[in-house]
Amino acid sequence: MKLGLFTPVFGKLTFPEMLAKVRSLEKIDALELGTGAWPGHDHVDVEALLGDSSRAAEYQRMIADAGLIISALSCHGNPLHPDAATAQCYDDVFRKTVRLAERLKVSTVVTFSGCPGDSDQARHPNWVTTPWPPEFLEVLDWQWEKKAIPYWSEATGFARDHGVKIALEAHPGFLVYNVETALRLREAAGNNLGVNFDPSHFFWQGVDVPAAIRSLGPSIFHVHAKDVSLDRQNVAINGVIDTKSYRRLSERS
């Protein structure tokens, strides 16, 4: 196992500055590089590296000279977004990231499963959290059968053709947010699709993290680690499904 760092945390640094900073940190051996969508691409010029093999080789050399490896390329987005143009943008970033991973000999691409709307006429994603009233189950079935499974079955094949695995970060707000949903999509799309395991997203849902790890087993392709806490007083009053802004931290569960 290698301990790594997600480079968007140093997004204000240039690529050489970021490498120097990471090299100065003890026990950091790997980089997870953002290639676009929500993580941004501060340290990766995706188009340039795809268009020039010599530039890609120099990029790899600089990372190796810093004593580091690339653990994954990350392009967290929502390719199932109900707005077609928005979904296409996220899909384009994903496919370019897969191609870049192949070029850089990186085995894993990290992203989100995404979340559709409630119909083809929807404008915004719709994350279903309850089975009643019964129309919510109709929406959920439609999201899985008509959107998620077809998209990710094709996308998984695309990644496999390029020698790359897909690690979906299970995250509330998207169709894949826990063990059950992760394994459901993996079973439908194929074993080339797995999980970027971030226990922070599981912990606040009340999931037993070691039990989740045992259940996911070989489907865990990559791991995140970050802090999360529950405000017991707020949880006691409002539960854990909390849509208040992160700016209102003291009021959140």
Could you tell me the pLDDT band of residue 226, with boundaries at 50, 70 and 90?
confident
Residue 30 has pLDDT above 90, yes or no: yes
How confident is the model over 145-166, as a mean pLDDT? 99
Binned at pLDDT 50, 70 and 90, residue 249 comes out as: confident
Q: Which pLDDT does position 173 carry in this prediction?
A: 98
**What pLDDT, on a 0 to 100 scale, did the predictor assign at position 109?**
99
pLDDT reading at 17 higher than 90 = yes
What's the pLDDT score for residue 84?
98
Mean pLDDT of 155-163: 99
Report the chain's mean pLDDT, rounded to a whole number. Answer: 97
pLDDT of 243 > 90? The answer is no
Q: How would residue 246 be classed by pLDDT, with cut points 50, 70 and 90? A: confident
Q: Residue 1: pLDDT band by 50, 70, 90 thresholds? A: confident
Given a contact cutoff of 8 angstroms between Cβ atoms, the answer to whether 156 and 124 are in contact is no
Burial class (CB in 10 A: 0-12, 13-18, 19+), 253: middle
Percent of residues, the chain, with pLDDT higher than 70: 100
**Which of 29-38, 105-114, 156-165, 243-252 has the least mean pLDDT?**
243-252
Q: Are the beta carbons of 108 and 167 closer than 8 angstroms? A: yes
Average pLDDT value for residue range 88-96: 99
DSSP the chain: ---EEEGGGGTTS-HHHHHHHHHHSTT--EEEEE-SSTT--TT--HHHHHH-HHHHHHHHHHHHHTT-EEEEEE----TT-SSHHHHHHHHHHHHHHHHHHHHHT--EEEE------SSTT-SS--------STHHHHHHHHIIIIIIHHHHHHHHHHHHHTT-EEEEE--TTSS--SHHHHHHHHHHH-TTEEEEE-HHHHHTTT--HHHHHHHHGGGEEEE--------HHHHHHH-S---S-GGGGGG--
pTM: 0.96
The domain made up of 4-251 is a member of CATH 3.20.20.150: yes
Residue 227 confidence (pLDDT) above 90: no
Mean pLDDT, residues 147-170: 99
